[in-house]
Amino acid sequence: MTDEIAISGIKISPPALALQLRTDSATSDLTPRLCRLLTIARVNIAFMTAIGQAPHTYTLCCIDPDQREKVTHMVDQDAQLKASITYGSVLGLLTLYPHRGSLQLLGLAVQALSDAGIAIYGLASSIAALTVAIDFSRLEEAAALLAERFDLPRNPPPVQPGITVRQEKRIR
């Protein structure tokens, strides 16, 4: 086991609805089409992993749950998309930073969540941070757990998001 790993902070996200998109040999990769639809609906992608080349692709895409009705309505107009999308549970994004490209850090984070029985639905690094998608109901518990396992500064930055970005159509 390694010594405690130092990180600068942990962040948790607002709730995020999981959209799971699977394509098979009967369809092309529908991920670009989903992204087009979300753009038309002005819905942000909070997190996405899209892996594989047509015909076999799997995409996990997280959006604001408040947008579900609007997105569902639009998806329902597209038979192929509708048949390929599953609406998953409400997730939360747990982000720790910086990861410094450390596999030990990845191991410690995954082990801490796994030991607590917290399911991991997705995970991805960015330039500096490692983000894990877990059940929203266990997000704060998970953040507290990681705060215990990692070496944080004495006065770490707040875990909750400081600002909320809301995108609306500009009316002149």
Partner 1 sequence: METIAVYWEPIIRTYGFQVQQGLLWHPLRIPLCLLGAWARRLQEMDVADMAFRMVWAQVEDSDHLKVTLVCEAGDWERVRRHWRSPEGGDDNGRIASGMPVDLVFFHGPHFGDRYGIMDFTYKALAREKVPLVAAVCSAATIYLVLPAGMGPDTRTLLSGAFEIPTTVPGARRNKASADGDGRS
Q: Which residues bind partner 1 (CB under 8 A)?
A: 1-2, 31-32, 35-36, 38-39, 41-53, 58, 60, 95, 100-104, 106-111, 114-115, 119-131, 165, 167, 170
> What does the block give as tokens for 167?
């995108």
Instruction: Quote the CA–CA distance of 122 and 134 in Å, as a whole number.
Output: 7
Residue position matching structure tokens 């500096």? 128
CB of 137 to partner 1, least distance (A): 17
Between 88 and 147, name the residue whose CB sits nearer to partner 1: 88
CB of 74 to partner 1, least distance (A): 13
Instruction: Quote the CA–CA distance of 159 and 78 in Å, as a whole number.
Output: 39
Between 114 and 137, name the residue whose CB sits nearer to partner 1: 114
Measuring CA to CA, how many Å separate 103 from each of 37, 47, 99, 125?
36, 21, 9, 11
Between 43 and 152, name the residue whose CB sits nearer to partner 1: 43
